[in-house]
Structure 1
Amino acid sequence: MSSDNLEILNIDPYLERYKSAIEWRNNRFNMKKKALLKNKKSLSDFADGYLYFGFHQKAEGWVYREWAPNAKSVFLIGDFNGWDRDATPLKPLGSGRWEVFLPGKKALPHGSRVKVHIKTKDQSFDRVPLYCKRVIQDKNTFAFDGQIWNPEQPYKWHDKAFHPDQSVPPLIYEAHIGIAGESPEVSTFKEFTQNTLPHIAGLGYNAVQLMAIMEHPYYASFGYQVSNFFAVSSRFGTPEDLKALIDTAHHLGIAVILDLVHSHASRNVLDGIGEFDGTDYQFFHAGPEGDHPAWGSKVFNYDKPEVLHFLLSNIKFWLDEYHFDGFRFDGVTSILYHNHGLGVNFNSYDQYFSSNTDMSGLTYLQMASALAKEIKPDCFLIAEDMSGLPGMALPVSQGGLGFDYRLGMGLPDFWIHTLRDLRDEDWDLNALWHELTQRRPGEKVIGYAESHDQAIVGDKTIMFWLADQDMYSDMNVFNQNPVIERALALHKMIRLITCTCAGEGYMNFMGNEFGHPEWIDFPREENGWSYQYARRQWHLAEDTNLRYRYLQDFDRAMIHFVKETKLLEYPSELLLIDTWAKLLLYSKGPYLFAFNFHPTKDFNGFIPLPDSNGYQPLLNTESRDFGGWMDTEPDLIDAKANCPGRLTTLYIPKRSAAVYAPAR
């Protein structure tokens, strides 16, 4: 690809000196794609692994195929043959592929358990089939088996009319199925569909991002230690239950995004893909290079064609089989760099184009985004990258990696630093504005104040930083506590400025909209395997005697305002920062935003206006409806009063924010 076609160089002129490196990464993508496709017409044709490997019912019986290049012999075992390790051998097809045909449509009954027995030169062992679509755990032995999943009545979809709207900014509700219930137990897909989806729709969010969907043996890993890449986590229900959830979400106008983990894999051998054929290099780098130094997991070899086939087929599978509307790619930084980005402060462009960059991983991400867009052009692709690699959210054809959005990961850290280390009087609004509005040129961002990361034991949510132990005693409407008053005020202000300024999309983690008072602590040995803190207490936001409902009501009003006005399509224009008064004023399109972060002083002074016709109040954080103290809305802003031109006076109380629309 000629540099004349690399739009990234026009978007960011600072990249001109790295032109040859950007050309090389795009040429590498094209060469790798050509080598993979061979006689295939498209990446979608190439990514057919789940249609070939695994279990497939035919008119005459069942075909099972497996990939185990180090195996000397392979046998299918299970309920169907009494777990006889010699009864059902597979025949070799070459290139590490194995196959067996079992005559009769009922040769492998629905719900029966299976494994594959592999013999190598030196050993023999049982494994869970690589492409198994359902994996279940024995409650007595705790061993994992594959399960034949072939219900007589396949799920019938009703979502043909639904298409994710890429022209509308995504307002994402990040959720975890297992902890979505009130009871101290693992919640289910059915319960989420019945109880949580209506809540998400009512709040106004137009997308839900589901975590921990791919099968993972260790519940407390939050789904980030995947063992079986084509299996839905059975602890939440059946494949049909997940399909019904997604179908229902589409009926409610909600796109469903999968939290996709291709950055590493569980190192488990008995229930995962680790050492599936007896080698440590079938999917991963051999030796220490294949071990992730921080996560205790295995690192994929993205240069290996068979690994690319497996992972790309996985992407097509989730889009095709389950109608997901896109992916949030986890751990992109780890994929991009040989040292996984650990201990690196990415403060120079040189660090993006050094020998530390893993070109195989980078090419894989380009392949993944290209494939996803080929299959579903309107799908959402979001990259979790801490390094800020240029071009992440630009099309591959322009010299980028092909994602639609990158996560704005710096802002949550900024909020934690501000709340933990600074007095209210010392907040740096210039630094805040910079953090809110800094972007890679031409690249879109999903902004967020906090995610699941801040809700886990060992960290603290924004509400916990603000209120701490006072949450347990004084969140009722009868007590007056200055700590709680401050927490409520700043919680709303932080969310409003983050939602409206920090990106071209917005994300909130489940329950944080109302300041959920508990952290998340999954059952583990250290807490006696308790589910007490692996749940969400929805009733708190419905209790009229508690103040959580005010935070939820404000979140609902904010999300509906942002969605209905298409606010995030407008750029943020700074009008005024007054560091002494702690005043921040900006506009987005026709709307005016005024924030007074001062802890003790109201603001009453001159401000500049972008519109000479004046403004009327639209949304106010200190409204009585949102637990504030103001019985009436703020005054109209009259641009013609007091001062000529576009200056006027504004009164805005301490620790409050107001949104104004043009006067009509």
Structure 2
Amino acid sequence: MAGANQNTSENPSFYSRLTDFDIHLFRSGKHYQLHDKLGSHPVEHNGEAGCYFAVWAPSAKQVSVIGNFNYWDVHAHNLTPRWDSSGIWEGFIPGIGHGEVYKYSIETQEGFRLEKGDPFARYWEEPPKTASIIWDPSYKWKDSKWMKKRMKEREEPKPYAVYEVHMGSWKRKMEEGGRSLSYRELAEELVDYVKDMNYTHVEFMPVMEHPFYGSWGYQITGYFAPTSRYGNPQDFKFMIDALHQAGIGVILDWVPSHFPNDAHGLYKFDGTHLYEHSDPRKGFHPDWKSSIFNYGRFEVKSILISNAVFWLEEFHVDGLRVDAVASMLYLDYSRKAGEWIPNEFGGNENIEAIRFLKEMNETVYGKFPDVITIAEESTAWPGVSKPTFLGGLGFGQKWMMGWMHDTLEFFKHDPMYRRWHMNEITFSIMYAFTENFMLPLSHDEVVHGKGPLMARMPGDEWQRFANMRLMLGYMYAHPGTKLLFMGSEFAQTSEWRHDHGLEWHLLQFGFHSGVQNLVRDINKLYQTTKALYERPFEKEGFEWIDYSDTENSVIVFARYGMNPDKDAVLAVCNFTPQLHHEYRVGVSATGEWIEIFNSDDKKYSGTGLTNGSVETTSTQSHGKDQSVVLKLPPLAIILLKLKS
């Protein structure tokens, strides 16, 4: 390659952040700190301030840096290819630094010129502009108390009451043309709201830079930069800092499954299929019309795992929810016969992607034992949340898609006919302890014509809201951690739209504020009741009391903490509008049982049919030697706890 002999340590003008060991790790798929090496980095060299650039483009004929500083002249600042055949081009440009706009001009072997953004850019122009920006990411964190607590309590069971948020549409400034809130504004308004609602975590839909707003962030071009739509990287850190100081964890939606084919992005980055498979049967996603990463290429694996590490390290993020894992695991995902290539053993498993996911999880938990990875995996793939040394994929938790589907289907039924469908609401316990499940009522359930969650609820207005309260209460009583998409916490009545704010005006109406009050209260109850969170993934933390009363459409179960004799909660769900004034339930312990939650409480806009406290009697029921007699309100769930 031309100029290769110039890139040596004997050349006094040469500067590099890369060592031979870096190159070895990168080419072996084992470099997990590439964000410190590749991309643009403001530095001082030979007493002169400037910027170091490094980009991976092994098939390029020539690479240069272009920007306002050189009038976008493709010949003004050429980078030099390294002598080690790594495919990395690098160079130092004096006199430019923080805030400078740039792109890479890449000449292909065929002589075509491409203008590409920097895959490792820390900041980008606001779309529809597509240039990268040199950025100093320094920030003084104030969340040390949170970070120390996170590490200290890493092995302890903890509640996850997660609020899923799309930042651009959570709330809008209608007096200013309906613009979205900035990171700094969210650091006040969102933090205050989430704290008031007693959520433990916020999960943000993808915040990485993406050109098309309508993709909701799932078509990423800037994997190492928070979107500039709402502010700069320090603003984003400020928001995370504020959440941490308020005692709220942060989970980011992460998308290593595919990327868009925008001209300035990763697609055919150096004129060849560098990041993606060249064969469309492995490299093109038919559902999203996007490119699929080549997980078998070691350099790509290094880049993706570095990206996971980057968000956890640079932004103090507490977890990653990994999108579309099923599409990564199966070579025939959304493909017909003849549209996919079997693996070396003739199967449909994507062995390269499986290895990548395992290594990603091993690396993340090795470096950050106090964070969580969560898989959105929609099939019955075994061991998604089991350790890799036991043959699993190594995720901390997995979305319980089956529970979500069955629950929403069940609640669609008219209560009169639910007796014939009780298996839909009880079946989840058959497999509830095969994985570390998170129960999701996510954004996917309120888009694409599905309508809001309220649209599934049958009956008149009162019954619809009672059903909504019952479903949410049942979700929190069911084993597993919890996730609820924004707007559902106050029963939004319209389908979510990414270009509109939530329907906050609904809170002036009692039914909607009642649902919000319920979510606020049950979030707090969930965090302070050990039986509800200490053993969410263990069969010893759950007991069926009665799932056979299909005639009345009532189910009864118990939840237990680590000390089952002390930490026990009884849950009773009445899925019809029929009141039961004397419903006998067997219980595990003698004494006074206190009603700690009732979705029919008047403060939730219910009828107010509550129990207060009840004493056990020696009457046998449900295989127990003692029992209590309860009032079961219509379309409601009640939770009781033994008085200590």
Report the TM-score range of the alignment, normalised by the length of the smaller protein.
Answer: 0.7 to 0.9
Match of 2:4 in 1: none
Offset at residue 432 of structure 1 (A) = 0.8
Match of 1:329 in 2: 322
Offset at residue 80 of structure 1 (A) = 1.3
Match of 1:29 in 2: none
Match of 1:32 in 2: none
Instruction: Kindly indicate whether residue 514 of structure 2 is the aligned counterpart of residue 550 of structure 1.
Output: yes
Offset at residue 414 of structure 1 (A) = 1.4
Instruction: Kindly indicate whether residue 155 of structure 2 is the aligned counterpart of residue 162 of structure 1.
Output: no
RMSD value, Cα: 2.5
Alignment of 1:48-67 (within 5 A): 48-60=33-45, 61-67=50-56
Q: Which residue identity lines up with residue 387 of structure 1 in the other structure?
A: T
Instruction: Kindly indicate whether residue 245 of structure 2 is the aligned counterpart of residue 251 of structure 1.
Output: yes
The structure-2 alpha-carbon separation of the partners of 1:45 and 1:229, relative to structure 1 and needing over 3 Å to count, comes to same
Alignment of 1:478-489 (within 5 A): 483-489=460-466
Q: Which residue identity lines up with residue 117 of structure 1 in the other structure?
A: S
Q: Which residue identity lines up with residue 545 of structure 2 in the other structure?
A: L
Alignment of 1:201-220 (within 5 A): 201-220=195-214
Alignment match of 1:144 (pick from 113, 121, 130) = 130
Q: Which residue identity lines up with residue 600 of structure 1 in the other structure?
A: Q
Contact 1:44 1:316 in 2 (8 A): no
Q: Which residue identity lines up with residue 113 of structure 1 in the other structure?
A: V
Q: Which residue identity lines up with residue 620 of structure 1 in the other structure?
A: N
**2 CA distance for matches of 1:162 and 1:329?**
24
Offset at residue 58 of structure 1 (A) = 2.0
**CA deviations over 1:459-489 (Å, ceiling 9, x no partner):** 122212227xxxxxxxxxxxxxx61111111
Q: Which residue identity lines up with residue 500 of structure 1 in the other structure?
A: A
**2 CA distance for matches of 1:58 and 1:594?**
64
**CA deviations over 1:187-232 (Å, ceiling 9, x no partner):** 3212221111111111111111111201111111111111111121
> Per the alignment, in what secondary structure is the counterpart of residue 162 of structure 1?
helix
Instruction: Kindly indicate whether residue 87 of structure 2 is the aligned counterpart of residue 96 of structure 1.
Output: yes
**CA deviations over 1:85-143 (Å, ceiling 9, x no partner):** 1000011103211011123xxx22422210111112211121111211111146xxx44
The structure-2 alpha-carbon separation of the partners of 1:44 and 1:629, relative to structure 1 and needing over 3 Å to count, comes to farther
Match of 1:384 in 2: 376
> Per the alignment, in what secondary structure is the counterpart of residue 174 of structure 1?
strand
**1 CA distance for matches of 2:620 and 2:298?**
70
Offset at residue 421 of structure 1 (A) = 5.3
> Per the alignment, in what secondary structure is the counterpart of residue 259 of structure 1?
strand
Contact 1:212 1:222 in 2 (8 A): yes
**1 CA distance for matches of 2:430 and 2:234?**
42
Instruction: Kindly indicate whether residue 445 of structure 2 is the aligned counterpart of residue 454 of structure 1.
Output: yes
**1 CA distance for matches of 2:222 and 2:277?**
15
TM-score by length of structure 1 reads 0.83
TM-score by length of structure 2 reads 0.86
Match of 2:5 in 1: none
The structure-2 alpha-carbon separation of the partners of 1:456 and 1:232, relative to structure 1 and needing over 3 Å to count, comes to same
Identity %: 27
**1 CA distance for matches of 2:143 and 2:231?**
21
Instruction: Kindly indicate whether residue 169 of structure 2 is the aligned counterpart of residue 179 of structure 1.
Output: yes
Contact 2:407 2:424 in 1 (8 A): no
> Per the alignment, in what secondary structure is the counterpart of residue 125 of structure 2?
strand
**1 CA distance for matches of 2:312 and 2:506?**
36
Match of 2:482 in 1: 506
The structure-2 alpha-carbon separation of the partners of 1:394 and 1:285, relative to structure 1 and needing over 3 Å to count, comes to farther
Alignment of 1:319-358 (within 5 A): 319-340=312-333, 355-358=347-350
Offset at residue 636 of structure 1 (A) = 2.9
Match of 1:24 in 2: none
**2 CA distance for matches of 1:368 and 1:380?**
12
**2 CA distance for matches of 1:401 and 1:280?**
27
Contact 2:454 2:464 in 1 (8 A): yes
**CA deviations over 1:139-190 (Å, ceiling 9, x no partner):** xxx4411112237xx3211112223344212211111111111333333212
Match of 2:538 in 1: none
**2 CA distance for matches of 1:40 and 1:78?**
31
Q: Which residue identity lines up with residue 593 of structure 1 in the other structure?
A: A
The structure-2 alpha-carbon separation of the partners of 1:555 and 1:241, relative to structure 1 and needing over 3 Å to count, comes to same
The structure-2 alpha-carbon separation of the partners of 1:437 and 1:515, relative to structure 1 and needing over 3 Å to count, comes to farther
Instruction: Kindly indicate whether residue 105 of structure 2 is the aligned counterpart of residue 86 of structure 1.
Output: no
> Per the alignment, in what secondary structure is the counterpart of residue 474 of structure 2?
helix
Alignment of 1:427-466 (within 5 A): 427=419, 428-436=421-429, 438-439=431-432, 441=434, 443-448=435-440, 450-466=441-457
Instruction: Kindly indicate whether residue 96 of structure 2 is the aligned counterpart of residue 108 of structure 1.
Output: yes
Contact 1:408 1:502 in 2 (8 A): no
> Per the alignment, in what secondary structure is the counterpart of residue 369 of structure 2?
coil
**2 CA distance for matches of 1:444 and 1:300?**
27
Alignment of 1:217-616 (within 5 A): 217-270=211-264, 272-340=265-333, 355-420=347-412, 424-427=416-419, 428-436=421-429, 438-439=431-432, 441=434, 443-448=435-440, 450-466=441-457, 483-503=460-480, 505-522=481-498, 531=499, 534-541=500-507, 543=508, 545-566=509-530, 567-570=532-535, 571-577=541-547, 578-589=549-560, 590-602=568-580, 604-616=582-594
Identify unmatched segments of 5+ residues in structure 2. Answer: 1-20, 338-342, 536-540, 561-567
Match of 1:3 in 2: none
Which stretch of structure 1 is more off in the superposition, 219-228 or 161-170? 161-170
> Per the alignment, in what secondary structure is the counterpart of residue 315 of structure 1?
helix
Alignment match of 2:113 (pick from 116, 121, 124) = 124
Offset at residue 556 of structure 1 (A) = 0.9
Match of 1:15 in 2: none
Match of 1:623 in 2: 601
Offset at residue 412 of structure 1 (A) = 2.1
Offset at residue 423 of structure 1 (A) = 5.1
Q: Which residue identity lines up with residue 390 of structure 1 in the other structure?
A: P
Offset at residue 389 of structure 1 (A) = 1.4
**2 CA distance for matches of 1:362 and 1:108?**
42
**2 CA distance for matches of 1:40 and 1:89?**
26
The structure-2 alpha-carbon separation of the partners of 1:38 and 1:191, relative to structure 1 and needing over 3 Å to count, comes to closer
Q: Which residue identity lines up with residue 204 of structure 2 in the other structure?
A: L
Offset at residue 641 of structure 1 (A) = 6.5
Contact 1:80 1:109 in 2 (8 A): no
> Per the alignment, in what secondary structure is the counterpart of residue 362 of structure 1?
helix
Contact 2:101 2:131 in 1 (8 A): yes
**2 CA distance for matches of 1:377 and 1:130?**
27
> Per the alignment, in what secondary structure is the counterpart of residue 289 of structure 1?
helix
**1 CA distance for matches of 2:312 and 2:643?**
46
Offset at residue 314 of structure 1 (A) = 0.6
**1 CA distance for matches of 2:401 and 2:22?**
35
Contact 1:256 1:324 in 2 (8 A): yes
Offset at residue 283 of structure 1 (A) = 3.4
Identify unmatched segments of 5+ residues in structure 1. Answer: 1-35, 345-350, 468-481, 523-530
Match of 2:15 in 1: none
**2 CA distance for matches of 1:609 and 1:132?**
59
Alignment match of 1:193 (pick from 173, 187, 201) = 187
The structure-2 alpha-carbon separation of the partners of 1:285 and 1:436, relative to structure 1 and needing over 3 Å to count, comes to farther
> Per the alignment, in what secondary structure is the counterpart of residue 470 of structure 2?
helix
Contact 1:285 1:299 in 2 (8 A): no
Which stretch of structure 1 is more off in the superposition, 161-170 or 406-415? 161-170
